[in-house]
């Protein structure tokens, strides 16, 4: 009789624990639902083409095109990755393969420490040092896409380096030993054996770094200049989706506010796109 | 011979890359500490109230807000994370359901924090009509931190040797008794360590809280439904308002290590 009672209780406990686990699903669902619900007025009143595919952003006269900001997000992220990906993966190779153990550990500590510094602090730092530096070198205002991209390099470096080092460490030692036994130098082992076998892990590290860069808000807002134009010039001021939201949210209402929520929806879609591509890459890895 | 020369050249390049990263990061860390240290040690700054009109002043209400937010948010997210970790590591079999839960966790982990901020604004502040308050921020951050906290908790539970579970079961304990009396207590030190990362995120998070807890206060928040102004958000506010000598506020500001 007692066994049945405890069995019953176990089933209840399992149900409660399952509910805890499904909070993650409920969270994702609620986020989608509420961001979508709030952006609905803009989608219906402005229309999808004029909202998502136009660069015309003049909220005062009812033009809410966000393409310039989507472009700003993609552009700064790509520029940042061009710098941060080689730097981060290189640093990871250094930590994992080249540096003596103590040096590698020290480098890792510094990187972890940086990952813990709040983005507003990095932003302030860029504002008082990086912006004046760019101004004095280029003669521009200093605020703009270049400053934003460099901030994103700093913000995404810890993610890329740590994850790349992890995936390099996961390469079986036998592979490296076999390569060394065949007479390969350290460099040959690294670029012929280590990097190809860790390839998917390295790509995922860079994609997660991109995720960081796309979502970064405060630090970028402080240095990008917050102009509403679309620009591919590194020295011109611009905006990203995140910076436009914080810039305008304070005074927005009605359709204007809803258009900002539509930009958050765009950010949501961008990060879901990243997640799905990571899933596809890691599934490929399992099959290979 | 060329092989060896290439090897030397490559080693040099990687040393340079490694050193570059350390120099960039080290420079930032040292600079922030050097600029903020003197102000941070000034008792008037730590325990004073902010000036309403000319800007500057102390940041005591903001420090209280941050600590309050950390406590509230962990009280909400820790039980959920422990429950979810128990389900994933003790009950669930690997399959579609756990795969889907992990997919949701991955999605939560990559969403930009500003999206969490707007979500918190739409759901807690507006829809639930809580207005800007600590509770709204705490719930928003609890969801934001769920993936990191859950991963840490689960790892701590996976580290408990299976022999412990088997020994407990062989003594006639039910599964739930085993979890409650054996697994969770042995994993407790690991679970506590797992809260460090989320605490760091709560302290440093600004985009997710400026639309949920509020930006500026002069009095210390008492009730969880009081408007508050955690440091990180206040730093941003101070910067955009641009009044007074806010450089001090900022450099001495939020820092989590």
For B54-70, give the DSSP string: S--B--HHHHHHHHHHH
- Residue A100 touches partner B, C-beta closer than 8 Å: no
User: Residue B134 domain-assigned?
Assistant: yes
- B131 and B193, same domain (yes or no): yes
- Residue A39 belongs to a domain: no
Q: String of b and e for A259-268 (b: at least 16 CB within 10 Å)?
A: bbbbbbbbbb
Spell out the residues 6+ positions from residue B13 whose beta carbon is closer than 8 angstroms to its own: A90
A280 interfaces chain B, CB cutoff of 8 Å: no
What's the structural domain count of chain B?
A: 2
Tell me, yes or no, whether A29 lies in a domain.
Answer: no
Q: Work out the angle at residue A111's Cα, subtended by the Cα atoms of residues A110 and A115, and round it to the nearest 5 degrees.
A: 120
Q: Do A110 and B10 touch (CB under 8 A)?
A: no
Residues 6+ apart with CB under 8 A from A50: A56, A63, A64, A65
Domain count, chain A: 1
pLDDT, averaged per 10 consecutive residues of chain B (257 residues), comes to 81 88 84 75 78 70 92 95 93 87 92 95 94 95 95 92 93 90 93 90 90 87 90 81 48 39
Contact A120 B11 (CB under 8 A): no
Does residue A189 contact residue A179 with C-beta atoms inside 8 Å? yes
Q: Which residue of B has its CA nearest to A113?
A: B257
Instruction: Report how far apart, in Å, the C-alpha atoms of B92 and of each of A14, A178, A282, B181, B204 are.
Output: 9, 40, 22, 20, 34
Question: Would A10 be classed as within a structural domain?
Answer: no
Smallest CA–CA distance, residue B111 to chain A, in Å, is 6
In the numeric block, which tokens belong to residue A108? Answer: 């890792």
B113 and B157: one domain? yes
CA distance A51 to chain B (A): 18
The answer on B68 and B29 residing in a single domain is no
The residue length of chain B stands at 257
CB within 8 Å of B145: residues ≥ 6 apart = B73, B77, B198, B201, B202
User: What gap in Å lies between CA A208 and CA A156, rounded to an integer?
Assistant: 8
Name the residue of chain A whose CA is nearest to B142's CA.
A27
Report whether A77 contacts A243 (CB < 8 A). no
- Residues within 8 A of A (CB atoms), B 192-221 only: 200, 203-207, 210-211
Closest approach of chain B CAs to the CA of A61, in angstroms?
24
Using alpha carbons, list the distances in angstroms from residue A37 to A29, A264, B226: 12, 12, 27
Q: Is residue B174 part of a domain?
A: yes
Q: Is residue A249 part of a domain?
A: yes
- Residues B87 and B138 placed together within one structural domain of the fold: yes
Q: Minimal Cα–Cα distance from B228 to chain A, Å?
A: 17
A36–chain B Cβ distance below 8 A for any pair: no
CA contacts within 13 A on the Cβ side of B88: 28
Let me know if residue B146 belongs to a domain: yes
pTM value is 0.88
Q: What is the CATH number of the domain that holds B70?
A: 1.10.3720.10
Residue A275 lies in a domain: yes
CA torsion A59→A62→A66→A68, rounded to 10°? -70
Select from A6, A17, A195 the residue whose CB has the most chain B CBs within 10 Å, as the one to mutate to test that interface.
A17
Residues B70 and B36 both lie in one domain: no
Q: Is residue A22 part of a domain?
A: no
Residue B1 pLDDT: 53
d(CA A195, CA B74): 40
B257 inside domain: no
* DSSP, res A225: B
Examine residue B183 and state whether it is found in any structural domain, yes or no. Answer: yes
CATH number of the domain to which A69 belongs = 1.10.3720.10
Residue of chain B with shortest Cα separation from A100: B15
Chain B, 170 to 189: residues with Cβ < 8 Å from chain A are 174-176, 179
Structural domain includes residue B135: yes
Q: What are phi and psi of A57, to 5 degrees?
A: -115, 95
Nearest to A69 by CA among A216, A218, A226, A234: A226
Q: Which of residues 43-82 of A touch B (CB under 8 A)?
A: none
User: Rounded to an integer, what distance in angstroms lies between the CA atom of residue A154 and that of residue A123?
Assistant: 10
B88 → closest Cβ in A21, A23, A106: A21
Are the Cβ atoms of A113 and B13 closer than 8 angstroms?
Answer: no
Distance (Å) from the alpha carbon of A144 to chain B's nearest alpha carbon:
17
Cα torsion B240, B199, B23, A88: sign: negative
Q: Are B137 and B23 in a shared domain? A: no
Q: Does residue A8 form part of some domain?
A: no
Q: Are B181 and B72 in a shared domain?
A: yes
The answer to whether residues B97 and B14 belong to one domain is no
Q: Do B105 and B195 share a structural domain?
A: yes
Ranges in chain A, pLDDT < 50? 1-3
Backbone angles phi, psi at B4, to 5 degrees: -70, -40
* Distance from the A35 Cα atom to the nearest Cα atom in chain B, whole angstroms: 6
Q: Per the domain annotation, does A193 fall within a domain?
A: yes
Contact B17 A94 (CB under 8 A): yes
Q: Tell me: do B31 and B106 sit in the same domain.
A: no
Q: Are residues B105 and B13 in the same domain?
A: no
> Does B152 map to a domain?
yes
Q: Which of A14, A17, A46 is nearest to B154 (CA)?
A: A17
Q: Which domain holds residue B30?
A: 2-41
Range of the domain at A198: 57-287
Q: Give the rounded distance of the alpha carbon of A228 from its chain centre.
A: 22
State the best of B8, B17, B21 to mutate against chain A, taking most chain A CBs within 10 Å.
B21
């Amino acid at each position: 009789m007692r066994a049945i009672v405890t069995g019953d209780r176990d089933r209840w406990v399992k149900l409660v624990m399952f509910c805890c686990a499904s909070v993650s699903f409920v969270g994702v669902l609620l986020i989608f639902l509420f961001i979508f619900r709030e952006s609905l007025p803009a989608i219906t009143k402005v229309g999808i083409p004029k909202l998502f595919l136009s660069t015309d952003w003049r909220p005062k006269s009812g033009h809410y095109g966000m393409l310039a900001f989507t472009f700003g997000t993609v552009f700064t992220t790509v520029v940042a990755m061009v710098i941060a990906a080689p730097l981060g993966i290189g640093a990871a190779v250094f930590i994992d393969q080249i540096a003596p153990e103590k040096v590698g550990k020290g480098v890792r500590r510094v990187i972890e420490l940086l990952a813990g510094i709040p983005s507003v602090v990095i932003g302030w730092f860029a504002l008082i040092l990086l912006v004046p530096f760019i101004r004095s070198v280029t003669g521009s205002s200093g605020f703009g896409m270049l400053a934003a991209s460099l901030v994103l390099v700093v913000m995404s470096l810890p993610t890329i380096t740590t994850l790349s080092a992890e995936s390099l460490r996961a390469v079986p030692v036998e592979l490296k030993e076999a390569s060394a036994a065949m007479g390969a130098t350290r460099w040959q082992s690294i670029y012929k054996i280590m990097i190809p076998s860790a390839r998917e892990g390295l790509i995922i590290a860079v994609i997660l770094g991109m995720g960081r860069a796309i979502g970064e808000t405060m630090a970028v807002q402080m240095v990008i200049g917050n102009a509403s134009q679309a620009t591919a010039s590194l020295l011109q001021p611009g905006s990203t989706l995140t910076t436009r939201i914080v810039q305008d949210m304070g005074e927005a209402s009605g359709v204007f506010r809803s258009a900002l929520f539509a930009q958050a929806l765009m950010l949501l879609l961008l990060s879901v796109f990243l997640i799905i591509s990571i899933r596809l890459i890691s599934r490929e890895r399992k099959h290979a | 011979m060329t092989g060896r020369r290439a090897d030397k050249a490559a080693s040099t390049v990687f040393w340079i890359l490694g050193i570059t990263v350390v120099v960039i990061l080290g420079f930032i860390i040292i600079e922030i500490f050097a600029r903020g240290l003197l102000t941070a040690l000034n008792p008037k700054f730590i325990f004073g109230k902010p000036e309403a009109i000319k800007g500057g002043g102390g940041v005591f209400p903001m420090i209280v807000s941050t600590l309050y937010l950390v406590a509230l948010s962990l009280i909400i997210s820790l039980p959920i994370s422990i429950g979810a970790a128990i389900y994933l590591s003790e009950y669930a079999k690997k399959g579609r359901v756990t795969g889907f839960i992990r997919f949701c966790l991955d999605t939560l982990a990559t969403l930009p924090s500003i999206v969490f901020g707007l979500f918190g604004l739409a759901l807690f502040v507006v829809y639930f009509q809580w207005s800007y308050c600590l509770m709204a921020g705490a719930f928003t951050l609890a969801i934001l931190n769920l993936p990191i906290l859950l991963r840490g908790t689960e790892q701590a539970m996976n580290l408990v040797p299976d022999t412990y579970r088997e020994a407990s079961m062989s003594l006639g304990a039910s599964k739930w008794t085993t979890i409650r009396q054996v697994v969770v207590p042995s994993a407790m030190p690991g679970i506590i360590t797992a809260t460090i990362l989320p605490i760091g995120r709560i302290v440093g998070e600004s985009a997710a809280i400026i639309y949920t807890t509020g930006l500026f206060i002069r009095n210390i928040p008492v009730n969880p439904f009081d408007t508050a102004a955690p440091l990180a958000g206040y730093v941003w506010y101070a910067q955009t308002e641009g009044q007074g000598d806010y450089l001090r506020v900022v450099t001495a500001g939020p820092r989590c290590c």
